[in-house]
Amino acid sequence: MSFNDIFKSSFLENVTSISIFDMVLAMALAFALGLFIFLIYKKTYQGVMYSSSFGVTLVALTMISTLVILAVTSNVVLSLGMVGALSIVRFRTAIKEPLDIAFLFWSIAVGIVLAAGMIPLAVFGSVIIGIILLIFVNKKSHVNPYIVVVSCDGHGSEEKATEFLKSKTIRMVVKSKSAQKGNIELNYEVRLKDDNTDFINELSDIAGVNSAVLVSYNGEYMG
């Protein structure tokens, strides 16, 4: 091996392995589809606190996935090294909403498919997924569960409140009950007949009922 062989490198050869047009086209499409995913996420979000940074992350993740796969597909040796490098990456951020996982995988999948040159699959697949999410996630129903919190002063007023709720709702289930001297607090899970919530005012006017509160409920939190 000569002295010049030590400084030989294939770096300049790798520069031209992907054309400038292909790089610009792939990154532009990744940005456009990432922005589409972000808009779908914004339209379908149903959590407590909306995080705009997560939406921006979806756009960035789509472009980063495209960038990585472009590099991997242009060099077999680099692909092996990339597998080893990515295997040590650990993500510690907790996913609060189960649907967020779908958006993360969607962004990664779109980036991979775009970099692989399957542009029609990435575009039409994203459109179909977006339409399905808009239809099913935003589907509203008047039978959504609610929680009614009732505070009363005794057993008699408790029975009156229970019978009143049975007559005003489709379904009613006692979720919890706590009793202290002179005060009983009950949590009912109810399904409303319609959007009218005036029955809460009538419930609070029942003799012996100190207060009545109606809150929305999705099985995980109240708010």
pLDDT in tens, 47-76: 666 778 888 989 999 998 888 888 777 665
Q: What is the mean pLDDT of residues 65-92?
A: 66
In angstroms, rounded to a whole number, what is the distance separating the alpha carbons of residues 138 and 80?
42
Residue 40 has pLDDT above 60, yes or no: yes
Q: What is the pLDDT of residue 6?
A: 44
**What tokens were used for 194?**
């319609």
Mean pLDDT of the chain: 79
More confidently predicted of 32 and 208? 32
Q: What average pLDDT does range 78-84 have in this prediction?
A: 57
pLDDT given at position 28: 93
Could you give the domains of the chain? 9-137 (no CATH), 145-216 (3.30.70.260)
Q: Which of 75-79, 113-117, 170-174 has the lowest mean pLDDT?
A: 75-79
Q: What is the pLDDT of residue 75?
A: 62
Instruction: Read off the pTM.
Output: 0.63
| 33 close to 76: Cβ distance less than 8 angstroms | no
Average pLDDT rounded to a whole number, residues 115-144: 84
**Planar angle of CA 37, 139, 57, nearest 5 degrees:** 20
Please give the pLDDT value at position 30.
Answer: 93
Sheet holding 169-180, edge to edge: 169-180, 183-192, 145-152, 209-216
Q: How confident is the model at residue 3 (pLDDT cuts 50, 70, 90)?
A: very low
